[in-house]
Copies of this chain bind each other. A is one copy, B any other.
Amino acid sequence: MAKDFVKRSENYSEWYNELVVRADLAENSSVRGCMVIKPYGYAIWEKMQSVLDNMFKETGHQNAYFPLFIPKSFFEKEAEHVEGFAKECAVVTHHRLTPKRDGTAGLEPDPDARLEEELIVRPTSETIIWDTYKRWIESYRDLPILCNQWANVVRWEMRTRMFLRTAEFLWQEGHTAHATKEEAEQEAQKMLKVYASFAEDYMAMPVLQGVKSPNERFAGAIDTYCIEAMMQDGKALQAGTSHFLGQNFAKAFDVKFLSRENKLEYVWATSWGVSTRLMGALIMSHSDDNGLVLPPKLAPLQVVIIPIFKTEEQLEQINREVEKIQKALQDKGISVKYDARKEYKPGWKFHEYEFKGVPVRITMGARDLQEGKCEIARRDTLEKELTDLNAVVPAVERLLVEIQANLFEKARRFRDENTRKADTWEEFTDILENKGGFISAHWDGTVETEERIKELTKATIRCIPFDSPLEEGRCVLTGKPSRQRVIFAKSY
């Protein structure tokens, strides 16, 4: 199947695209820029959703659902927001098709069914949600509102790549309303921490946490916090954002509340989201030239058992042994599949599950069984080991924990090794051209310099890390004074 699978070192981009398709994660559809998420890919997304949803609920959030369509005029109410989102979008103009009036075959939009006001397929839901919150909020007693929505959104991207940038994508968007600025700021930071925990503890993907420069801010936000991960080609991937929106949307939609002090005040807001883009991040963080590598905590299938036998008698013997092991593993909450299909040879199966990133493979060979043993292979290092049958369950349990930790460690090491300081423009461009990765450098704090650097190198400021220490320095481009290093990189 994947004999001609391209290597990362040959063509990283092609490697990614092929991996997504061959591992049955997703494929392009007949609709420009829209993908089909296939069952195996969707099963990973469901695992992500389930973990995140629990994390949101544990931090006091509730799910709700708001309309897919946003009236055009809603975008016009928040000046920056319209700049950022209303331009490249799917515009619904008619509510009916009718047979073509020129008599040729086919349908066309019915001119008598033109909408009075065009509807935009939501690219994000701040406007429709704040239009709703206006009805929900009267006094401080109605606050905070802590809602999350799991939904599809559409942004008419010109260049699309499966999971990383698609016209339609799936995401969650949290939208909260607060009585005070402090509470809203804390909420935005709290949710960034939730995202960071999810990325590191479940995706095994180390992330930088920080704040965006003005240029990279969400359209309509006062501050955008983000988590940034490094992919194996050294490029940065923005994996999640959390926005402190100030009172911008409350003002745009006239949402006021009566405070404890009996004063009418505008409500403070946050929004935060992660999307199916995380699938792209997950794939690119760990996978290798043999295919997908999945962290055990998000693998739909954690263990596969494959029998090797010549006679029916041997198979029956293996079946009996597998039944016990399978049951014992499942009792520990581990997902296990026994693939005893006869239409496929063991070698084909080895390859198949390796390519799909199943963390642990147990091979039950008739000969090993005679000696009371079986072989356990781990996907991350491809190492194999003969194990006593009665030690299989603890061995697998230990291995799943080890693989999860190893993937994180490996990614962290890679990230750290590929994060470099640059103090001169020569160093800066040399790293970008010859090494890639993250560059920690001084910046004079102006939008002009940020844009100039982007023009010259395609690198952008990924974030100003929260843990970046104050230190005197000079901007890598202009030489003007700077008090803090920021992280530059080329990015997805």
Question: Are B132 and A29 closer than 8 Å at their CB atoms?
Answer: yes
Known contacts A27-B135, A97-B89, A63 near B39 by CB under 8 Å: yes
Give the number of chain A interface residues (Cβ < 8 Å): 65
Judged by a CB distance under 8 angstroms, whether A1 is at the interface is: no
CA distance A30 to B120 in the complex (A): 13
User: Which residues of chain B are near A43, meaning CB under 8 Å?
Assistant: 62-63
Give the number of copies in the complex. Answer: 2
Judged by a CB distance under 8 angstroms, whether A70 is at the interface is: yes
Question: Are B91 and A95 closer than 8 Å at their CB atoms?
Answer: yes
Known contacts A75-B107, A91-B92, A118-B109, A36 near B168 by CB under 8 Å: no
Judged by a CB distance under 8 angstroms, whether A37 is at the interface is: yes
Contact code string A66-90 (vs B, CB < 8 Å = 1, else 0): 1111111111100000100011111
CA distance A70 to B97 in the complex (A): 13
CA distance A121 to B63 in the complex (A): 24
Judged by a CB distance under 8 angstroms, whether A348 is at the interface is: no
User: Which residues of chain B are near A147, meaning CB under 8 Å?
Assistant: 39
Question: Are B36 and A67 closer than 8 Å at their CB atoms?
Answer: yes
Judged by a CB distance under 8 angstroms, whether A456 is at the interface is: no
Q: A135's closest neighbor in chain B, by CB?
A: B27
Judged by a CB distance under 8 angstroms, whether A482 is at the interface is: no
Highest count of chain B CB atoms <10 Å: which of A70, A90, A106: A90
User: Which residues of chain B are near A74, meaning CB under 8 Å?
Assistant: 30
User: Which residues of chain B are near A70, meaning CB under 8 Å?
Assistant: 31
User: Which residues of chain B are near A67, meaning CB under 8 Å?
Assistant: 29, 31, 34-36, 168
CA distance A459 to B76 in the complex (A): 47
Judged by a CB distance under 8 angstroms, whether A154 is at the interface is: yes
CA distance A65 to B34 in the complex (A): 11
CA distance A151 to B152 in the complex (A): 9
Known contacts A106-B76, A132-B36, A92 near B65 by CB under 8 Å: no
Q: A343's closest neighbor in chain B, by CB?
A: B141
Judged by a CB distance under 8 angstroms, whether A46 is at the interface is: yes
Which residues of A (6-37) have their CB < 8 Å from a CB of B? Answer: 27, 29-31, 34-37
Question: Are B132 and A34 closer than 8 Å at their CB atoms?
Answer: no
Min CB gap A87→B, angstroms: 6
Min CB gap A254→B, angstroms: 13
Judged by a CB distance under 8 angstroms, whether A470 is at the interface is: no
Question: Are B64 and A96 closer than 8 Å at their CB atoms?
Answer: no
Q: A98's closest neighbor in chain B, by CB?
A: B87
The answer, among B39, B62, B68, B94, for a CB contact under 8 Å with A168, is B68
Q: A93's closest neighbor in chain B, by CB?
A: B93
User: Which residues of chain B are near A38, meaning CB under 8 Å?
Assistant: 64
Min CB gap A21→B, angstroms: 10
Known contacts A92-B90, A97-B87, A42 near B64 by CB under 8 Å: yes
Min CB gap A110→B, angstroms: 9
User: Which residues of chain B are near A95, meaning CB under 8 Å?
Assistant: 88-91, 156
Q: A85's closest neighbor in chain B, by CB?
A: B97
Judged by a CB distance under 8 angstroms, whether A389 is at the interface is: no
CA distance A62 to B170 in the complex (A): 18
Question: Are A36 and B63 closer than 8 Å at their CB atoms?
Answer: no
CA distance A19 to B87 in the complex (A): 40
Question: Are A119 and B90 closer than 8 Å at their CB atoms?
Answer: yes
Binding site for B on A (CB under 8 A): 27, 29-31, 34-39, 42-43, 45-46, 62-76, 82, 86-98, 105-109, 118-121, 128, 131-132, 135, 141, 147, 151-152, 154, 156, 168, 170, 343
List 9 interface pairs A-B (beta carbons < 8 Å), by A numbering. Answer: A31-B69, A38-B64, A43-B63, A45-B65, A65-B170, A76-B106, A82-B107, A91-B92, A96-B156
14 new A-B contacts, CB < 8 A, other than A89-B97, A91-B93, A91-B109, are A27-B132, A30-B71, A31-B69, A38-B64, A39-B62, A42-B63, A68-B121, A69-B168, A72-B106, A86-B97, A87-B97, A88-B96, A93-B94, A93-B109
